[in-house]
Amino acid sequence: MQVTKGVTCPFCGVTCDDLEIHVEDGQIREVKNACVLGRDTFLHHLKGLATPRIDGKPASVDACIDAAADILARARYPLIYGLDSTELHAQRKAIELADLIGANIDHTSSICHAPSLQAVQTVGLPTCTMGEVKNRADLVIFWGCNPAEAHPRHATRFSVTPKGMFTPQGRKDRTIIHVDVRKTPSTRMADAFIQIKPHSDYEIFSVLTALVKGHDLDLSEVGGVPMEEWRRLVSLMKDADYGILHWGMGLTMTRGKYLNIVAALRLCQELHRFTKFQGAPLRGHGNVVGMAQVLTWQTGFPFAVNLSRGYPRFNPGEFSVADLLARGEVDAALVIGADAVGNVPKQAAEHIKSIPLICVDPKESETTRVAKIVIPAAQAAVAAAGVAYRMDHIPLPMKKVVDSPYPSDREILDRIIAGVSARRPELVRRMRPAASAGA
């Protein structure tokens, strides 16, 4: 039995790096320390594996890669999308390919936490690591998120029960507040639940900020909650030694979108006049933060980047995946480690089904089922090593615990780049030397 310790789980943004995996005869037999989602990721990694094929007919991986390079070399306005379930080096390769072929490149954040990324670029992010949350936070607010179901070990490793340097009694040293439009399993972790009206978040954050600033507002309620309750929350926030506001898609995907997050972050900034108060989104996929990091350091922008002019342009709504597809603009798509057809709105899904679609994924999905070319990959963090960014922007190594008959995403992308370069050498000459060296 081969036992590997300190294994990183790729399933969600908590990116737990303390898993212990037992492997015998090339099979994963036991997974220790993981939640049920993490255990499933490793124990059932062979379930629903994709097979290499072109136009629905079995083909070799080499033939699939060759056909993919052919499509991308001829495309006039291609899209590269997905990339949140893979590792950092593959993400870098995808950006290099996008630069080479002048593609639009976008990732799953575009349809979940893009408003958070836009807000951070607008007002900045007063934030901290999850280690600081564990060691210091005595007030934790979960707003529009449900970590009990989406991030099962967040509470036990960082935000609710663990004992930290300045929170030696763990749960007893923390006050937990849950704000949402309805109760969820996360409500049970909280000392208090504040039920608000849907779409009232912006208004509430604005009022809370005014109260923090000392304004006396002549209102009886905001967001369906009496002002007395908001005044109590403001007192709690000002009196905390160290506060953290965690938010989820209940803020990013409701009316106000990125302005909700701007208002939330301004509240955190205002609270810094009285105490330490941070904000941090709870991010979903394992390496969704990594893709935004890599894209930002390579192009200056976190999502929805267009490279068709040989330099990066950023315009959500124009270059974001759902809009490009809904307008029927892209003429070929490469989807890596994501279920684009299952993710995007119906009209966008219809277009992606109508163009040459290449899908690189370890598993079958709605996207592989309609793709022209399917290239199975070794699953990152299970059968391929690499790096992932945790939701608090901490990079962690991903280990390989079993072998796969298929190449990694990084290798596949490398070979597609070589195939496109051989077909279109003028594209290689056009690329800026710094970009090709950096990527």
The contact set with ligand SF4 (CB under 6 A) reads 9, 11-12, 14-16, 34-35, 37-38, 151-153
Nearer to ligand SF4, 277 or 389 (CB): 389
Residue from 119, 81, 11, 26 nearest 401 by CA: 26
Q: How far is the CB of 42 from ligand SF4 (least distance, A)?
A: 9
CA 318, CA 329: separation in Å to the nearest integer?
Answer: 10
Residue 333, SS3?
strand
CA 160, CA 162: separation in Å to the nearest integer?
Answer: 6
Nearer to ligand SF4, 35 or 413 (CB): 35
Q: How far is the CB of 76 from ligand SF4 (least distance, A)?
A: 40
Nearer to ligand SF4, 11 or 205 (CB): 11
Q: How far is the CB of 391 from ligand SF4 (least distance, A)?
A: 10
Tokens of 188: 């049970």
Tokens of 166: 């300045």
Nearer to ligand SF4, 34 or 120 (CB): 34
Cα–Cα distances (Å) from 209 to 212, 273, 364, in that order, read 5, 12, 47
Q: How far is the CB of 415 from ligand SF4 (least distance, A)?
A: 30
Q: How far is the CB of 258 from ligand SF4 (least distance, A)?
A: 26
Nearer to ligand SF4, 23 or 355 (CB): 23
Question: For the chain, what is the total number of helices (H) and then of strands (E)?
Answer: 19, 21
Give yes or no for a contact between 312 and 301, defined as CB atoms under 8 angstroms apart.
Answer: yes
DSSP assignment of 3-48 equals EEEEEPP-SBTT----EEEEEETTEEEEEES--HHHHHHHHTTTTT
Nearer to ligand SF4, 16 or 79 (CB): 16
CA 126, CA 296: separation in Å to the nearest integer?
Answer: 18
Nearer to ligand SF4, 155 or 358 (CB): 155
Tokens of 429: 């000459």
Q: How far is the CB of 15 from ligand SF4 (least distance, A)?
A: 5
Q: How far is the CB of 324 from ligand SF4 (least distance, A)?
A: 30
Tokens of 46: 């062979």
CA 105, CA 97: separation in Å to the nearest integer?
Answer: 10
Closest residue to bound ligand SF4 by CB: 38
